[in-house]
Amino acid sequence: MPNRAFRFIHAADLHLEQVPQGVAHVPEHLKDLFVDSAYRAAERIFEAACTEQVDFLILAGDVLDAKRTGPRGPLFLVEQFRKLADRKIPVYWAGGVVDSPDAWPPSVNLPDNVVVFPMGRPDEVVFDRHAEPIVRLVGASRVAGRRLRPNEFSGEPGGLFTIGVAHGTADPQQLKAREIEYWALGGRHQRTTVYRGPEVAHYPGTPQGRSPADAGQHGCTLVDVDERKTIRTTQIATDLFRWQNERVEVQENSSREDLETALRERVNALAQAQPGIDQMISWTVEGAGPLVAGIRRGPLAEELVGMLRREFGFGPPALWSLTLETEADIHVPKAWLEEETVRGDFLRTMRSLEQEGGAPPDLTQYLPERYLAGSLSAAAVLSDPQERGRVLAEAAMLGVDLLTAEETES
């Protein structure tokens, strides 16, 4: 049987129920952008499916939590599905953590062009073009608390091109062993290709970043497969605005004017590199010296952020600066670590904690009893090594600032 070329869009993790977070204050002129971003980014996926004239659309989980969106979420999706139905574009949907098939409201009927894969063992469907089988899809919606089980999926060597559709993570070797040409996966907010050549396992990422941790461009993936089963993937940007984490380095003798110039140049570079899109920028200043110390304590950081907001934050496009912080690292003169003072004792203790690693610090002992059962309790256990290092460094530099001030006053 000869193979036929086809194309489809692979999207996942739309999370219509989530608004952007991790921002202390959203300015008035950006509130509508934040509130509507998830829906508008999702709408761009369906628009791309029509514009690119794809054969079908794959949704690989975590599309929406219908309880949290209320009626708006399901009704929005049905409207988008019908647009595709008018163009005879089917949708293949595998549920994830928040959108298991039984979570869909029974009062809202899905159009006939939508195929929802069942929970548990994978089901198989074949996409036909003019009554000719083109591609085989094997998919399953996620079962709560269960990891992806690649051994339950199987390819068709020598037969139709096979796509596995699922939400979750699995060992790459287990995925490869199933002889499935393309794994359409969901569950990672950053675009990731697990492996490529000639088979592909891919996460398209979320279509709209939700926090400063979701830095960079987001969207869906256009997949083209030719007659030789060669796979080409292309990202289609769908995000309404973009998070950026920028680092600027200063020298020991750098002045405030030097830093302001560097910040302005970086913002202009971001605007030129990504024209027409709003950007939310978190700044980290690296280096040592009086300027860095002034950012850690005092009003300098706030003043610099204010300057950037006034000059670049209102657009269009808006390049809004969220925060400006110093690098989380222990930058102190070596002599301070050796001195016989309270500051020296403190620094040696912090350096020892930083170098030893070991069990994560448990800060719950310092919490009032009323917080022990809440989310704050989990945040007080530093189990992530990177987060542990950052917190220790920030605590060390805060202690240095306080103890140095005390020594100066005495």
Domain ranges of the chain: 6-239, 241-327, 337-410
Give the Cα separation of 209 and 37 in Å (integer). Answer: 9
d(CA 161, CA 169): 22
CA distances from residue 252 to 132, 195, 371 in whole angstroms, order as listed:
70, 44, 42
One-letter amino acid at 383 equals S
Helix or strand holding residue 352 (H, E): helix 342-356
Is 384's pLDDT higher than 70?
no
pLDDT beyond 70 at 52: yes
Say yes or no: domain 6-239 is CATH 1.10.3720.10: no
Nearest to 305 by CA among 329, 281, 279: 281
Helix (H, G, I), strand (E, B) or coil at 340: coil
Q: Is 145 exposed, middle or buried (0-12, 13-18, 19+ CB in 10 A)?
A: exposed
Lowest mean pLDDT among 102-111, 115-124, 294-303, 306-315: 294-303
The Cα diameter of the chain in Å comes to 88
Let me know: does 376 contact 367? Beta carbons within 8 Å: yes
**Other Cβ atoms within 10 Å of 340 Cβ, number:** 7
pLDDT at 90: 99
Could you tell me if 17 and 68 are in contact, meaning their C-beta atoms sit under 8 angstroms apart? yes
Q: What is the pLDDT of residue 133?
A: 96
Please give the structure tokens belonging to residue 211.
Answer: 């926090």
Summary mean pLDDT of the chain: 90
- Interstrand relation of 123-129 and 114-116 (parallel, antiparallel or unpaired): unpaired
Q: Looking at the predicted structure, is the pLDDT value of residue 325 above 60?
A: yes
CB 204, CB 10: distance < 8 Å? yes
Q: Rounded to whole angstroms, how far apart are CA atoms 168 and 262?
A: 41
Interior/surface letters 379-403, b for 16+ CB within 10 angstroms, e for the rest: ebebeeeeebbebbbbbbbebbeeb
Of residues 386 and 326, more confidently modeled: 326
Q: Using CB atoms within 10 A of its CB, is residue 408 exposed (0-12), middle (13-18) or buried (19+)?
A: exposed
Amino acid 405: pLDDT: 58
Give yes or no for residue 367 having a pLDDT over 80. Answer: no
**Average pLDDT score over residue span 245-259:** 93
Assigned token pair, 25: 């204050």
Count the helices and strands in the chain (H runs, E runs).
11, 15
The pLDDT-based confidence of 120 (bands split at 50, 70, 90) is confident
Question: If DSSP codes are grouped into helix, strand and coil, which group holds residue 282?
Answer: strand
58, β-bridge pairs: 10, 92
- For residues 209 and 217, what is the distance between their CA atoms, to the nearest angstrom? 8
Cβ(309)–Cβ(320) under 8 Å? yes
pTM: 0.83
Residue type, 365: Q
Average pLDDT over residues 12-26: 93
Query: What does R_g of the chain's alpha carbons equal in angstroms?
Result: 26
Please report, to the nearest 10 degrees, the dihedral formed by the alpha carbons of residues 168, 195, 5, 204 taken in order. 50
